[in-house]
């Protein structure tokens, strides 16, 4: 029997969803090539995440990695030959994309090299304090974090391991990556940082880079995703998106879902729907079976390159509104966008904007503008 999916509150089988899609494409044949191209890319890219190192050169406030004790949970493997063998096994298992986090990947460049040599699609997540060299890493994607923007970014991130503070972390990252097509700034929005949102995005635009919005979750606090004035945050984020449509690659629908946690079909983002979990982790047996989509074969690995992690971030689902997890939820939910051709077109726009973030993607902003 076909697995049921839903459109609004009415259940559809996969066959019915396929028939509905065909009917919508008959109505709007101009959408067919875009849909087929996105489906091909979705089938081609098989992703994982790897905690490349437990070491970091700063201590950001609200960093889930250190707040959650991930830096001490497993013993870090430093043998590059063994790490390369791990990357090769991923490739042999059909994985071709790895997001390398930590810790700080720019501190362990030989480990990044090991993955670059084995896998075609690599993304590193960096705090921006040290530059990622260009030579040998020309085709990777570099995701640079910002928290809050303006002086708030230094307050939250420019903290040395010994607890002392410094200034100019964001400006340092800008100087490292001027006009670098590999770079995507991931801007974690904070209600306290709203006055700095537009000026920060303007700096990114003037630096020749692109940005996507994230949600600043204050991990370690009692209410990590609480916003006092949600409407105000949403309106400002959408206003800045409209001012800088080429720089801010986040789609407006995604921005609304990121900030409010809601979708047009009535579901809220959370564990029951989040697709960015390690699908083979024993804790997820019921979640994987509940009928909501997951990223096929996705796994997050600890810095020992053996431990299967709960998900792509903290595992604290009640305190998480991670941008890439939210984006992935929308991307894998195509069946929720079949009530009209306009809604299907919206899903195409959302999904293209997701792929536009990554330098190795054929939809990357630089390629789209070429």
Q: What percent of the chain stands above pLDDT 70?
A: 93
What integer pLDDT is reported at residue 229 of this predicted model?
84
Q: Is residue 2 part of a domain?
A: no
Mean confidence (pLDDT) of the chain: 93
Q: Is residue 335 part of a domain?
A: yes
Has residue 49 got a pLDDT over 90?
yes
Structure-model confidence comparison of residues 118 and 314, the more confident one: 118
Any idea what the CATH number is for the domain that residue 110 is in?
A: 3.20.20
Farthest CA pair distance, the chain: 62
Q: What percent of the chain stands above pLDDT 90?
A: 84
Q: Is residue 5 part of a domain?
A: no
Q: Is residue 7 part of a domain?
A: no
Strand order in the sheet with 210-215: 210-215, 183-189, 141-147, 121-126, 97-101, 47-51, 300-301
pLDDT band at 318, cuts 50/70/90?
Answer: confident
Which token pair is 129?
A: 């304090």
Quote the distance between the C-alpha of residue 43 and its chain's center.
18
pLDDT in tens, 237-283: 999 999 999 999 999 999 999 999 999 999 999 999 999 999 999 99
SS3 117: helix
SS3 311: strand
Has residue 187 got a pLDDT over 70?
yes
pLDDT band at 366, cuts 50/70/90?
Answer: confident
Q: Is residue 48 part of a domain?
A: yes
What integer pLDDT is reported at residue 1 of this predicted model?
30
Give the gyration radius of the chain's Cα atoms: 20
pLDDT in tens, 327-354: 999 999 999 999 999 999 999 999 999 9
Highest mean pLDDT among 4-8, 65-69, 263-267: 263-267
Q: Is residue 1 part of a domain?
A: no
DSSP 248: B
The total of structural domains in the chain comes to 1
pLDDT in tens, 88-131: 999 999 999 999 998 999 999 999 999 999 999 999 999 999 99
Integer Cα distance of 348 and 351 in angstroms: 5
What integer pLDDT is reported at residue 307 of this predicted model?
97
The beta-carbon contacts of 320-324 under 8 Å, at least 24 apart in sequence, are 320/64, 320/217, 320/224, 320/225, 320/274, 321/215, 321/217, 321/225, 321/258, 321/261, 321/269, 322/214, 322/215, 322/217, 322/276, 323/186, 323/212, 323/213, 323/214, 323/215, 323/250, 323/258, 324/276
Q: Is residue 255 part of a domain?
A: yes
Residue 230 lies in domain: 14-218+225-367
What integer pLDDT is reported at residue 5 of this predicted model?
47
What integer pLDDT is reported at residue 227 of this predicted model?
72
Can you tell me which residue has the tokens 């087929």?
A: 36
Has residue 7 got a pLDDT over 80?
no
Phi and psi torsions of 359, nearest 5°: -60, -30
pLDDT band at 2, cuts 50/70/90?
Answer: very low
Q: Is residue 319 part of a domain?
A: yes
What integer pLDDT is reported at residue 369 of this predicted model?
59
185, 146 contact by CB (below 8 A): yes
SS3 346: helix
pTM above 0.85, yes or no: yes
3-state helix, strand, coil in the chain (%, to 5): 45, 15, 40
76, 55 contact by CB (below 8 A): yes
User: What one-character-per-residue DSSP string does 263-281 give?
Assistant: -TTS-B-STTT---B-TTS
Would you give the end-to-end CA distance of the chain in angstroms?
Answer: 46
């Amino acid at each position: 029997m076909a697995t049921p999916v839903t459109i609004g509150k009415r259940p559809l089988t996969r066959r019915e969803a396929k028939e509905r899609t065909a009917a919508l494409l008959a109505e709007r044949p101009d959408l067919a090539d875009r849909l087929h191209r996105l489906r091909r890319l979705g089938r081609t890219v098989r992703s994982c995440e790897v905690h490349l190192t437990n070491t970091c050169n700063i201590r950001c406030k609200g960093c889930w990695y250190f707040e959650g004790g991930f830096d001490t949970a497993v013993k870090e493997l430093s043998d590059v030959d063994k790490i390369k063998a791990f990357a090769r096994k991923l490739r042999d298992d059909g994985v071709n994309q790895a997001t390398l986090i930590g810790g700080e990947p720019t501190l362990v460049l030989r480990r990044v090299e090991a993955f670059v040599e084995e896998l075609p699609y690599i993304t590193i997540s960096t705090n921006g304090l040290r530059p990622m060299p260009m030579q040998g890493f020309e085709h990777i994607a570099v995701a640079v974090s910002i928290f809050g923007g303006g002086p708030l970014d230094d307050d939250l991130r420019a903290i040395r391991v010994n607890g002392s503070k410094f200034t100019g972390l964001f400006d340092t990252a800008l100087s490292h990556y001027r006009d670098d097509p590999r770079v995507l700034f991931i801007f974690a929005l904070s209600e306290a940082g709203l006055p700095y949102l537009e000026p920060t995005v303007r700096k990114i635009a003037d630096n020749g880079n692109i940005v996507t919005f994230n949600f600043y979750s204050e991990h370690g606090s009692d209410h990590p995703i609480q916003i006092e004035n949600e409407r105000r945050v949403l309106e400002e984020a959408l206003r800045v998106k409209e001012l800088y449509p080429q720089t801010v690659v986040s789609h407006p629908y995604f921005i609304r879902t990121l900030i409010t946690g809601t979708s047009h079909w009535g579901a809220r983002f959370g564990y029951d729907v989040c697709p960015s979990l390690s699908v083979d982790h024993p804790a997820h047996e019921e979640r994987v079976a509940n009928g909501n989509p997951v990223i096929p074969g996705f796994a997050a690995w600890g810095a020992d390159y053996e431990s299967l992690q709960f998900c792509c971030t903290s595992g604290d689902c009640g305190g998480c509104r991670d941008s890439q997890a939210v984006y992935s939820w929308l991307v894998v939910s195509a069946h929720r966008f079949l009530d009209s051709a306009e809604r299907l077109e919206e899903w195409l726009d959302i999904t293209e904007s997701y792929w536009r973030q990554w330098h190795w993607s054929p939809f990357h902003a630089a390629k789209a503008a070429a």
